[in-house]
Amino acid sequence: MLFIKTNEEKKLTFEANIQGIDKKNMRGSVRFMVNNCEYGFPVEIVNNKIHSVIPPLEDIVKESITDGTIIEAKLEIFVDKYYFTPWEGEVHIEAPMEVHATLEEEAPTVGLAVQLVSEGKPKKEVPVQEAKVKTSTPIKKQTINKKSEVLLNKEEIKANITENVIRSYISKKGSKNVDIQNIILDQAREAAKSNDNFKILKEVIKILGKVKQTVN
């Protein structure tokens, strides 16, 4: 039995005992019967050998051939008016297993914009359906409490007042003399009756104000 794969070329060689025949007048073919159709393949006769090339059957047979199919085959030789079939047999077809898959394009969902891009062609934009949302209650705008903001700024100012800040103020508005600055600070602390620098600064402002009025 002859074995042939549907996706491969097959070369056949027959040993022949040719006697009393002029080889120049010989012609022939190898014939396969596949799905009730007959296919012929030419032969070449060299000395006492007959050669034939069978192309991949999947390239010439329109219908698919399942693996394990057995077909009838024969070698035909014509000489002038004579016809010979020096070989007949069965051919076992081997079809390779294949799996083919096609990518299925998914349709775009509502609310997503999809652009189809192809080389050499302008882009096409798929329209987007927008969902409308109804609200029964109006959206309230956030309001800022200005009073709270002022209080917050005041607290920040208090926290940043240090003795160096007070001395700098005295130096700018009163005197750069360190001894005089110490005297003014002591008076301010005693008047404020507290170590809170903010209260002390207020008393310093009062003291410098009185000094300025006295000078004027």
Is residue 25 predicted with pLDDT exceeding 50? yes
Cα(104)–Cα(126) distance, rounded to whole angstroms?
18
Query: By mean pLDDT, which of 39-43, 119-123, 161-165, 210-214 is the weakest?
Result: 119-123
Does the global pTM surpass 0.85? no
Name the most confidently modeled range: 11-25, 37-51, 161-175: 37-51
pLDDT value, residue 124? 53
Q: What is the pLDDT of residues 162-208, one digit of tens each?
A: 888 888 888 888 888 888 888 988 998 888 888 888 888 888 888 88
Is residue 115 predicted with pLDDT exceeding 60? no
Query: By mean pLDDT, which of 57-61, 88-92, 146-150, 187-191 is the weakest?
Result: 146-150
pLDDT greater at residue 80 or residue 52 = 52
39 CB contacts (<8 Å, ≥6 apart)?
A: 31, 32, 60, 61
Contacts of 200-204 with CB under 8 Å at 24 or more apart are 200/166, 201/161, 201/165, 201/166, 201/169, 204/166, 204/169, 204/170
Instruction: Give yes or no for a contact between 84 and 18, defined as CB atoms under 8 angstroms apart.
Output: no
Instruction: Give yes or no for a contact between 19 and 79, defined as CB atoms under 8 angstroms apart.
Output: no
Cα(52)–Cα(13) distance, rounded to whole angstroms?
7
Query: By mean pLDDT, which of 28-32, 67-71, 73-77, 137-141 is the weakest?
Result: 137-141
Q: What is the pLDDT of residues 63-106, one digit of tens each?
A: 888 889 999 999 999 888 888 898 999 999 998 876 667 777 76
181 CB contacts (<8 Å, ≥6 apart)?
A: 167, 170, 171, 174, 175
Q: What is the mean pLDDT of residues 22-43?
A: 89
153 CB contacts (<8 Å, ≥6 apart)?
A: none
Which domains, from first to last, does the chain contain?
2-94 (2.60.40.10), 146-215 (no CATH)
Cα(190)–Cα(53) distance, rounded to whole angstroms?
123
- Nearest partner of 1 among 73, 57, 76, judged by Cα: 73
Is residue 128 predicted with pLDDT exceeding 50? no
For residue 193, what is the DSSP state? T
Name the most confidently modeled range: 114-128, 131-145, 149-163: 149-163
Instruction: Give yes or no for a contact between 30 and 54, defined as CB atoms under 8 angstroms apart.
Output: yes
Is residue 45 predicted with pLDDT exceeding 60? yes
- Nearest partner of 78 among 31, 138, 148, judged by Cα: 31
Residue 31 pLDDT class (50, 70, 90 cuts):
very high
pLDDT value, residue 116? 47
Per DSSP, the three-state class of 16 is coil
